[in-house]
Amino acid sequence: MTRSHFEGDGTDLTIGLLPTSRWSGGGEQTADGVFHMPNLPTEEVYTAPDPARTSGTVRATKPLLAYDAEIHGLRVRFEHGRAIDIDADRGAETIRGFAARDENACRLGEVSLVDRESRIGALETLFYDTLIDENAASHIAIGDAYKSTVDEPDYGRINRSEIHLDFMIGGAGVDVHGVTQDGERVPVLRDGVWAV
């Protein structure tokens, strides 16, 4: 898959992937080889996108809490990987401030796929804790990327930033397709539910 396409409910967003981007989830190993679960519960599979290849518009499907500020109705437009237009019903200035924190804070560092019928998603409850809430729906994060989701040839290409801010963009009414090198669109999530 060379890119992911999110579509529906105010979203039409294409996210390019790096040649070595791989989907990760669940457990990880420390540098010493100790297996651990850094995020419980965990319902997501995630990867580092190409920070220069995100384009289109996206609407957050759930509110988020960013350092005690509630953000509602977040909408972001990306061009050539940069968030160039950020608006919200409430809290837009907070997100704009985060996106301006450093040169790459306005670029994506993560794309994550989550089935809306996950254990957290099925509760239809907002916990106002990102490590829990991000398990309710597919999400993206502006800012820093996880180096563990690419191989060495792409280490220097992933996004680097002092921030990492997740917001949910998946759920009912949102479809996700993987797009192959040949342009074939492969359904991944339909109406926010796994199709693979």
Domain residue spans in the chain? 3-194
Taking the alpha carbons at both ends of the chain, their separation in whole angstroms is 14
Average pLDDT per 10 consecutive residues for the chain, totaling 196 residues = 96 98 85 78 91 98 91 98 98 97 98 94 91 93 96 97 97 97 97 95
Based on DSSP, count helices (H) and strands (E) in the chain, helices before strands.
Answer: 2, 16
**Could you tell me the pTM of the whole model?**
0.93
Q: In the prediction, which pLDDT does 84 show?
A: 98
Which distant-in-sequence residues (6+ apart) come within 8 Å of 92 by Cβ?
Answer: 71, 74, 86
pLDDT value of position 29: 78
Between CA 196 and CA 189 the distance in angstroms is 7
Q: What pLDDT, on a 0 to 100 scale, did the predictor assign at position 181?
A: 94
Considering only CA atoms, which of 124, 111, 108, 109 is closest in space to residue 171? 124
